[in-house]
């Protein structure tokens, strides 16, 4: 999502989002609140999925752009569009947390997401962000290893320190100064420690929303970063 997706999917088309202010919800007997919409039944969410035409204009613009540039609509957008205001806030915070700042790479952040989503047993995030990790890391194998057992995956000392810290946050274990110091030894800073925690926290939310909705990953995610995608002829 956001600029992160734009660079992540540059080889398979880009995903991009634009931030917009929240739309006010007006409660009357004849006007439906923008926070909840009726919709159709799907096989990837237990909540109704509204037609895109019924969404606020800013969400319609974002989702249309995603579908045009990626070639498919990630189910997370459709599933969470049941509550457009929630989707808007989630996307805006995603843009901040997953944007380019500090010393964490895009592959680092996707690594954190896959490992902690595996701890939380979240199918959607393991599959979707495993795909993004393969793309960012240019490694088709490590995401699967992270999902199985991050401690036995082919990662280096810096990556191990990041995940060791991230998993303490994931399980709400007390963070020792030794864990911070271990990050510093690998060229990371206190600001990077914040970013590790923010990624873990955001996807703790995402994991649980996926549980709530019974969200299923798009089939396109399974092959992303594993096989070369054919380029459309002009």
- The 3-state DSSP composition of the chain as helix, strand, coil percent (nearest 5) reads 60, 0, 40
Q: What is the pLDDT of residue 36?
A: 57
CATH code for the domain in which residue 71 is found: 1.20.5.810
Average pLDDT over residues 98-121: 97
Separation CA 97–CA 87 (nearest Å) = 15
pLDDT one-digit tens code per residue, 128-176: 999 999 999 999 999 999 999 999 999 999 999 999 999 999 999 999 9
pLDDT at 9 over 80: no
Q: What is the pLDDT of residue 43?
A: 84
**What's the predicted TM-score (pTM) here?**
0.81
pLDDT one-digit tens code per residue, 34-85: 455 666 778 889 999 999 999 999 999 998 988 898 889 999 999 999 999 9
Residues near 130 by beta carbon (within 8 Å), at least 6 away in sequence: 110, 114, 143, 144, 146, 147, 221
Q: Are residues 173 and 147 in the same domain?
A: yes
227 lies in some domain: no
Average pLDDT over residues 107-123: 98
Report residue 38 as tokens: 């009726």
% of the chain exceeding 70 in pLDDT: 81
pLDDT at 18 over 60: no
Report residue 63 as tokens: 């989702």
Q: What is the pLDDT of residue 180?
A: 98
Give the structural domain span for 200.
Answer: 106-222
Q: Are residues 70 and 152 in the same domain?
A: no
DSSP string covering 37-88 = ---B--SS-SS-B--GGGS-HHHHHHHHHHHHHHSS--HHHHHHTTSHHHHH
Q: What is the pLDDT of residue 70?
A: 82
232 lies in some domain: no
Q: Are residues 212 and 127 in the same domain?
A: yes
Separation CA 211–CA 12 (nearest Å) = 28
Average pLDDT over residues 86-112: 95
Q: Are residues 83 and 135 in the same domain?
A: no
What is the tally of structural domains in the chain? 2
Report residue 20 as tokens: 């917009």
């Amino acid at each position: 999502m956001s600029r992160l997706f734009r660079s992540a999917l540059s080889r398979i088309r880009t995903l991009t989002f634009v931030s917009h202010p929240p739309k006010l919800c007006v409660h009357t007997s004849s006007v439906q609140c923008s926070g909840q919409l009726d919709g159709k039944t799907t096989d990837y969410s237990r909540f109704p999925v509204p037609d895109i035409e019924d969404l606020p204009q800013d969400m319609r613009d974002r989702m249309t752009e995603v579908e045009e540039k990626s070639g498919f609509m990630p189910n997370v957008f459709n599933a969470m569009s049941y509550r457009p205001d929630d989707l808007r806030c989630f996307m805006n915070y995603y843009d901040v947390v997953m944007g380019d700042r500090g010393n964490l790479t895009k592959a680092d952040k996707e690594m954190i997401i896959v490992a902690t989503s595996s701890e939380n047993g979240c199918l959607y995030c393991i599959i979707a962000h495993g795909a993004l990790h393969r793309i960012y890391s240019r490694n088709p194998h490590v995401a699967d290893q992270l999902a199985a057992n991050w401690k036995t995956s082919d990662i280096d000392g810096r990556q191990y320190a990041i995940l060791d810290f991230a998993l303490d946050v994931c399980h709400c274990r007390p963070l020792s100064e030794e864990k911070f110091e271990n990050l510093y030894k690998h060229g990371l800073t206190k600001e990077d420690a914040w970013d590790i925690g923010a990624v873990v926290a955001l996807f703790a939310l995402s994991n649980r929303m996926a549980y709530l909705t019974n969200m299923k990953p798009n089939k396109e995610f399974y092959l992303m970063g594993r096989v070369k995608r054919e380029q459309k002829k002009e």
